[in-house]
Amino acid sequence: MTALTDDVGVCIGTLGADPVAVARDLPAVLDAVAAAGTTSVSLHTFLGSMFGVDTVASMLADRGLRAGALEAALAWSSGPGPANEAEAEQSIAMAEALGARALLTVVLEPEMDRSAALEGLAQLCTLVAPAGLQVCLEWLPWTAMATMASAVDLMEACGEPNAALCFDTWHWMRQPGGPDVAVLDRLDGSRLGYLQLCDAVAEPAADVFAEAMSNRQLPGDGIVDFVGLFDVFDAKGARPYVASEIFNASILERGPAAAAAAYHDACARL
């Protein structure tokens, strides 16, 4: 288990009210991450457009931080085309400057054209492969890709070797039908590219989206079986990028420095 958790990063989107707020306060947010003892971050690709890729790289280097993952490619689910190509180009620029190896991808809409999405995903994977990026599909329970099974189905059907999965432990618990051990068991470890750590309360909220964005728990404070999951990942030889993604309004009220410290310390206790 320690091989998975000895260098846990943080999704910086969890250290502000929203991605725009984080971007506005980016130097202070990165200061908070470094002060907490965390050494890597998952960060949004649009920061490269806002600040310049070289400036973002300098911000990280000055604080002893590295980028483990980039967030998030969205256009692929509508099919191949210029929008998908533009996102890929932006991701490549960030990956080459920052050294990130995981590119998070999600579907935000409640419905999608599966055939178009498959073509878009294949195009995205092909475009970013030369930059060494692994395209990591994250299922979101309130969207057209609501379950781990649906994400794995797309990942496998697109046929690209750098298509992988983002395994979020809160989504693992809250996906329709609950944890899908059968799907996890049949996955090759190389396809588990990104592991996001957070915990869940025992009783799901009526509004799953609201819970996801405001009431995730620190790892170890909820019902996720981390020991069991880490054992499975280890048995598969999986070596994903690992970062906390803990959206918790009450923790964040104490400010980014306190939140970054809380996230780091909880993950370290694992």
Kind plus residue range of the DSSP H or E element containing 7:
none
Say which residues have a Cβ less than 8 Å from residue 158's Cβ, sequence separation at least 6: 118, 121, 122, 125
How do residues 67-79 score in pLDDT, each as one tens digit?
999 999 999 999 9
pLDDT of 88 reads 98
Taking 90 as the threshold, does the pLDDT of residue 270 lie above it? no
Domain count, the chain: 1
- Measure the CA–CA gap between 196 and 185, rounded to whole angstroms: 18
Decide if pLDDT at 4 tops 90.
Answer: no
- Those residues whose C-beta lies under 8 Å from the C-beta of residue 247, and which sit 6 or more positions away, are 14, 198, 212, 213, 214, 215, 216
- Please write the tens of the pLDDT for every residue from 24-45: 999 999 999 999 999 999 999 9
Q: What is the C-alpha to C-alpha distance for residues 158 and 163, in angstroms, rounded to an integer?
A: 8
Query: Burial of 241 by CB count in 10 Å (0-12 exposed, 13-18 middle, 19+ buried)?
Result: buried
Residue 194's pLDDT is: 98
CATH code assigned at 37: 3.20.20.150
At residue 6, does pLDDT exceed 80?
no
Q: What's this model's pTM, rounded to 2 decimal places? A: 0.97
Average pLDDT over residues 127-132: 98
pLDDT tier at 64 (50, 70, 90 boundaries)? very high
Query: Mind listing the pLDDT tens digit for each residue in 230-241?
Result: 999 999 999 999
How crowded is residue 219: how many other Cβ atoms within 10 Å of its Cβ?
23
Question: In this structure, how many other beta carbons lie within 10 angstroms of the beta carbon of residue 107?
Answer: 23
| H or E element that contains 124 | helix 114-128
**Which parts of 126-180 are beta strand (E)?**
134-138, 163-168
**Which one has a higher pLDDT value, 5 or 197?**
197
Average pLDDT for 46-74? 97
Per-residue pLDDT for 1 more than 70?
no
Range 49-70 burial, b when 16+ CB lie within 10 A, else e = eebebeebbebbeebebbbbbb
CA pseudo-torsion sign 206, 220, 145, 42: positive
* pLDDT exceeds 70 at position 81: yes
Range of the domain at 95: 2-269
The backbone torsions φ and ψ at residue 135, rounded to the nearest 5 degrees and listed phi first, read: -85, 110
* 19 in Cβ contact with 49 (< 8 Å): no
d(CA 71, CA 94): 11
Number of helices (H) and strands (E), helices first, in the chain? 14, 8
pLDDT at 60: 98
pLDDT tens digit sequence for 97-121: 999 999 999 999 999 999 999 999 9
